[in-house]
Structure 1
């Protein structure tokens, strides 16, 4: 039995299990523990976005996740009379996947846990509680207790705390949560045998009792109802009260198979820091938010997508430990932005004073008449997109035409030399990538500069236009291993031309670390390679 791991993960929910799959794909000796012996089946996350699906793609599990999901699901706002105030149905797939997808969390968690069986270097310990941890300069000691009361100590170089909103690790480390807890509670009811023909997620801004109604996979539906002051939370979960809540929305509640009902308190809180020594917080351990934007789990997936490649590089000796400092720098501001969005949507949904509700309805209708606002809403552009201005990036100069450094790289379809069409990430591979559009991205680098870049172990890609011809494929490149692919729908051409650049370094989490013209690319590449290894 191994008692030392490169990374230990506490919490095997979707965030922790995703982290373990990513570390497994990176070849890292990993332990994941969870005090629950089985997957928790009560109501929790129901939405998975395009950024999370891209992470699952990197982990090799996106097909398994989507097998039980409904893709491209609209989000609608309704007033008390049932009139649609806003219809959000984004049509773009900038990152290779649809932006709004609905899934069943227990089924997705099962797929993630099955994925861990692919890796002999990832060990799972369920029904095991982390009781205490102690850090020193060389690592972390975790004190574990299994269901039979057997105690065990393990050592890890680093720890990911994905242990939920009440995170014992966050408490042990003394990291406070900033923000507020909302006064209103909500009862969440999951049902089978869906009686409604409404294949979308609906936020009903009804002052009589605001509620959410969401179509789920496999003939399931979720209702979420606001509770008013004086209503007893436990009483609202009794079968009679659940039927009372549903009776206003279902002709015959007796035909609805209520699977489970729970009461939730919503929080808008964030940890003051995401890293303490060798321990990093992720998911609900780092931030809590209302569910209205469907971003709680997705924000946690973004956390570990950002974190795991950095830990993998550090524990393998490729990167300097200071790389971990960029995790809080990059992730905390965006997590706060998502919390703010979720809180704002809750304020739109939840007014119970009729006069306030009428004013809100009037404002939303008036705003939707403006074409720019309508497009902004339709395409879901109100969702904050991560933009890492500090951290492991080389910032662009002021006045850049379309800032791209620190933003996620687009993912169109490309065609390989043997005629196979693939999503771009499947060509980039799981680690760094250097990409040139209609150019050799490493052209002109000296032998010293090439040696520095190779410390990043990048996949080198040359993209040529669709049906460019053999002459473009066979031009020699500085790196013999350079892959040449065609831009199937000429989407990469549009992306590069809009930015006035033709060379880019993409990180393992698919964010652009540097972008330039190929003639000026060497300084940015060597600067990042030196920072990666701690030489600057």
Structure 2
């Protein structure tokens, strides 16, 4: 007779890939009890996702792992696009670090997953259940019940307040919930080949737009290299990964294909699909369970990390009583539209760059070369400004007037320059903001503008108060400014925050845990903004609403690391 185990937790996360483990790390940071479930006991030992952007690194900074991640990466990796004749028509080297980190970085997923899983060891309230496979789940207005099969065939029942589906493109949870995955599957398959003895001196990512056979060539860390070749109709996918065919594909691209130590050759199909909804009751979909996209924009995993960072703080807010559970609906509101925009970008780039029709390739190459003569367009391309940045027009944001891409920073990610702390350390801004909500004032202390009721609300949800002053505004280097309140004081080292606030409709910003701007206001508007924001987090509800959390569930979040 098989044994049965029953476990209780606040959040159950199914899938221990990068997105699932990121959610688990954030829940651990916020002190939330969680179980991380995956049917595999080991990390896949070859590279899969390879591109990481500055937004993802900022997310990993939030859980104290960005530097460890970066240690295994190639930073500021150029992206070169080559025309049908082999000449480079675009050399993309984004120099901006507006979010504190390099914009284009190359990594190997298995190393990143090791770092993320190691990070979980810091959090005793997060428990991994590797080697456990989800069989079925059901939910009601009170809990989610997950039925698992353990490594020895035992039945494990998990009772959770909420669940996160991070179980990949073939998501068992999404399928059982009946959520459609809308979009297309691309007709061309691609063969991915990797070696661990890189024979090329090509320190960049190359997109080779050769209609004879489009391909991608990537420099990876630790002497690895990847090629991705398009397959044509009629080519046998199974045959194309045989050693002789792999050598044939690489002929002309490396000096001696027989000298390579091939560690992987697999065929992939590209999909462009978005789930019909990211939230179903008490269950949230993240990463590939929520959206699939071709690799052309390098945004598949990065989009999933944005999901994970967005949903984690909202789950923590619901579990700890800081917000009504209906806050989870804003995860769908904020993330699904942007995920669709990233899928569309990937599709557009794929159509442009992977054309197999010479009559289309020639005008494309001519057009791209001509763009280099227009400085503004050239900057738009080379600084990767074509990437759609999230703008949350609805959700946990307070817009004054109708938001558009040009007239608001509310709903966007806050910049992250370096600031100087009271003890003279230069740190990235987030390290001074703490781990939860922040009232950030430039040249003014937010605390002195709050009435008693507003102060009580912000204190109740664990807010940190930060005042930014101009650099060297004290009378001497040894005589730094101090706050007369509970606010943290930091100095604006290079004037970045001064310039940013100069374009805002106020000098106090409400910064969310995921570093997006929830509101910007003048000091005299703070009390009104506080009331509006409180109504966003704790809206009035009908009596007997089963999703209500009793006030006794309110618990404290860990204090911030960094400046104090």
User: Is the 8 Å Cα contact of residues 396 and 405 (structure 1) preserved in structure 2?
Assistant: no
**Root-mean-square deviation (Å):** 1.6
Is structure 2 residue 103 aligned with structure 1 residue 102? no
Larger mean CA deviation between 399-408 and 19-28 belongs to 399-408
Runs of 4+ residues over 6 Å off in structure 1: none
Q: Which residue of 2 aligns with 1:453?
A: 458
CA displacement at 1:420 relative to structure 2: 0.8
The answer for the alignment partner of 2:276 in structure 1 is 272
- Out of 326, 332, 349, the residue aligned to residue 336 of structure 2 is 332
Please list every run of 5 or more consecutive structure 1 residues that lacks an aligned counterpart in the other structure: none
* Unmatched runs of 5 consecutive residues or more in structure 2: 542-564
From 263, 266, 285, the counterpart of 2:267: 263
1:225 aligns with 2:229: yes
* Greater Cα offset, 241-250 or 393-402: 393-402
Residue 411 in 1 paired to residue 416 in 2?
A: yes
SS at match of 2:37: strand
Aligned equivalents of 2:134 and 2:182: distance in 1?
25
- Give the distance between the partners of 1:399 and 1:352, measured in 2 at CA: 41
CA–CA separation in structure 2 for the residues paired with 1:192 and 1:476:
55
**Contact 1:452 1:530 survives alignment (8 Å):** no
In 2, are the aligned partners of 1:19 and 1:305 still within 8 Å (CA)? yes
- CA drift of 1:519 comes to 2.0
Residue pair 2:449, 2:526 contacting (<8 A) in 1 also: no
Report the Cα distance in structure 2 between the residues aligned to 1:87 and 1:501, rounded to whole angstroms: 39
The answer to whether structure 1 residue 384 and structure 2 residue 388 are counterparts is: yes
Q: How does 1:211-250 map to 2 (within 5 A)?
A: 211-250=215-254
Instruction: Return the offset for 1:399.
Output: 8.4
SS of alignment partner, residue 447 of structure 2: coil
Q: Which residue of 2 aligns with 1:294?
A: 298
Matches within 5 A, 1:391-470: 391-398=395-402, 402-470=407-475
Give the secondary-structure state (helix, strand or coil) at the position aligned to 1:292: helix
Question: Which of residues 23, 28, 31 is equivalent to 1:24?
Answer: 28
> Alpha-carbon deviations, 1:257-278, whole Å to 9, x = none?
1110110000110001000000
Equivalent-residue separation in structure 1 for 2:109 and 2:482 (angstroms): 48
Deviation at 1:147, TM superposition (A): 2.3
CA distance in 1, matches of 2:69, 2:280: 32
Aligned-pair distance for 1:430?
1.0
Question: Following the alignment from structure 1 to structure 2, what is the Cα–Cα distance between the partners of residues 476 and 268?
Answer: 52
Give the superposition deviation at 1:474.
Answer: 4.6
Partner residue in 1 for 2:204: 200
Contact 2:422/2:482, CA 8 A, preserved across alignment: no
Residue 419 (structure 1) shift:
0.4
Q: Which residue of structure 2 aligns with residue 501 of structure 1?
A: 506
Report the counterpart of residue 186 of structure 1 in structure 2.
Answer: 190
Note if contact 2:106-2:221 (Cα within 8 Å) is conserved in structure 1: yes
**1:158-197 to 2 correspondences below 5 Å:** 158-197=162-201
Q: Is 2:145 the counterpart of 1:117?
A: no
- Structure 2 CA distance for aligned equivalents of residues 102 and 399 of structure 1: 34
Larger CA deviation: 438-447 vs 308-317:
438-447
Contact 1:459–1:482 (8 Å) recurs in 2: yes
Contact 1:190 1:220 in 2 (8 A): yes
Q: Secondary structure at the match of 2:277?
A: coil
Partner of residue 321, structure 1: 325
SS of the aligned residue for 1:3 comes to strand
